[in-house]
A = this chain, B = another copy of it.
Amino acid sequence: MAEQWARSGLDLHLGIDRARGLRAGLEEALRSAVRDGRLAPGDRLPSSRALAQELGVARGTVTQVYEQLTAEGYLTSRARSGVRIAPRPRPETTVSVPAVSPCWPPADRFDLRSGLPDLSMFPRREWLAATRHVLGSMPNTDLGYGDPAGDPTLRTALADYLGRSRGLRTSPEQIIVCAGYTHALRIICQAVRGTIGFEDPTRQDYPAMAERLGLTVTRLPVDEDGLVVDALTGENAVVVTPAHQFPLGVTLSPQRRRDLLAWACRTDAVIVEDDYDGEFRYDRQPVGALQGLAPERVIYAGTVSKTIAPALRIAWLAVPGHLVPALRAVLRYDEAYVNVIDQQVLAHLIGRGDLDRHLRRCRVRYRQRRDRLGRVVAERLPHARLSGISAGLHAMMHLPGAAEPELLGRLAARGVVTEGISLFYRDARDAPPGLVIGYATPPQHAFEPAIAALMAVCAGDDGAESPVSGRRRGAERSARPGVRRRPR
């Protein structure tokens, strides 16, 4: 990078980065000078001839730069008064607005929240290579509005991928590409009438959104066999996480699967299968999706938010054929919002096996973390217990007798960000005391320190009183089992 100082009538100090090319360098130098106030509105720039001489460049180069910056609104150019810095509109100053919120999650803390993969594993090289491929080969016509249900390339790749990896019985015509699971669920809620059931516990945002969209919401208990099917009444639809209940981490048992399908057939209801982390099972081969057993009863939802990154905003539905028209009707006003380039990039990654390769790398890492967490808890916290199957990105850590709010406060003081189990229950009193540990979330170098900090606080080694002795609500709590067992 060569610095050059240009002096003119304006005493114009420009650090020009010639490595980017003279024209680009001069352009950027002028932009910076305007942005940081060194050139103020109304300031007159030297003539293109004068500046060209001073910089020792062709006059045409300066002219091009002035034209470009005039088009960008940085400069004004008038016959008599020459080239000047354009007046800038004053920002609206009558009201104060919240500042742009910081990135989520914050970079400087131990992040053990659930719902995130290790973002340091994002396949940047593969994503860039696939983008190069797609931009080099996609027809111009693909850059228009496209099919609101998603790009045919991706829908074809997904139908194939879901068939072989999750046992789905579907076709490209039944796939709808969405901008994340929340969008997918909102599309469904707009096509369903009446009552929709949600598991309790679950993420509270989902039933809240359904209510906002005019549906009546019921909440259904979960035990160690998954959703309690007997608790279903007249719901028109039910949202369930069969592979790995969130957040309890249990699997819907084979008997419950049969019961649930029988209920849906009997009452003509729709099952929404939220397969948010179905790709990650560490103790044996993943259990196939419920959808494969009854493709005409189940709307299947999957996402890349847990497998690659939430930032991509890509999810999908596999829809029973007879429901395709109803969901397409919703799409007219709530269309698929996913960049077609990104859709074709993902299709390329799936078709080349890059996604599966990435998943294998992730599985190895998350399994090691899950195992490590289990060992550390057994060693350091004799009162605690992990529950849920060896799968996914999170585990439930039961801490009998712990006072959750106080514990979370002490964790936060040590820089550990995590969630209490009660956050996911409609009634916090139904929740067993403890934490949901998103062990996949931290980058590799931060995993051990994060777990160490977590253990120190939970074991009371942080100088505060031990959580187990913090028996504000502990006495009644410790009698409650981690996951409610239904008599059957």
Contact = CB atoms under 8 A, between A and B. Distances in A.
Given A71-B359, A208-B333, A443-B140, A88 B163 contact: yes
Interface stretch (A126-134, A242-250, A259-267): A126-134
A173 interface: yes
Contacts of A100: 147, 149, 152, 155-156, 172-173
A203 interface: no
Contacts of A360: 67-68, 71
A146 B104 contact: yes
A361 B158 CA distance: 38
A69 B165 CA distance: 10
A88 B167 CA distance: 8
A86 interface: yes
Contacts of A163: 73, 88-89, 91
B92 A170 contact: yes
Interface stretch (A229-237, A269-277, A321-329, A465-473): A321-329
Contact of A68 (B147, B180, B310, B353): B353
A183 B337 contact: yes
A109 to B, nearest CB: 10
What copy number does this chain have within its complex?
2
A320 B443 CA distance: 39
Given A338-B337, A356-B68, A310 B98 contact: no
Interface of A: 24, 27-28, 31, 35, 67-69, 71-74, 86, 88-92, 94-101, 103-107, 116, 119-120, 122, 124, 127-128, 131-132, 135-136, 139-147, 149, 152, 155-156, 160, 163-165, 167-174, 179-180, 182-183, 186, 205, 208-209, 212, 292, 295-296, 309-314, 320-322, 324-325, 328, 332-335, 337-342, 352-353, 356-357, 359-360, 443
Given A312-B340, A312-B341, 17 more contacts: A24-B352, A68-B357, A74-B164, A88-B164, A89-B167, A97-B321, A98-B173, A99-B173, A100-B172, A116-B144, A143-B309, A143-B310, A146-B310, A183-B337, A205-B332, A212-B333, A313-B337
30 contacts: A31-B353, A72-B353, A89-B168, A89-B169, A90-B169, A91-B295, A95-B296, A95-B320, A95-B321, A95-B322, A97-B171, A98-B324, A100-B147, A100-B155, A101-B149, A103-B139, A119-B144, A124-B135, A127-B135, A143-B309, A144-B309, A182-B333, A186-B334, A208-B333, A209-B333, A311-B339, A311-B340, A312-B341, A339-B342, A342-B342
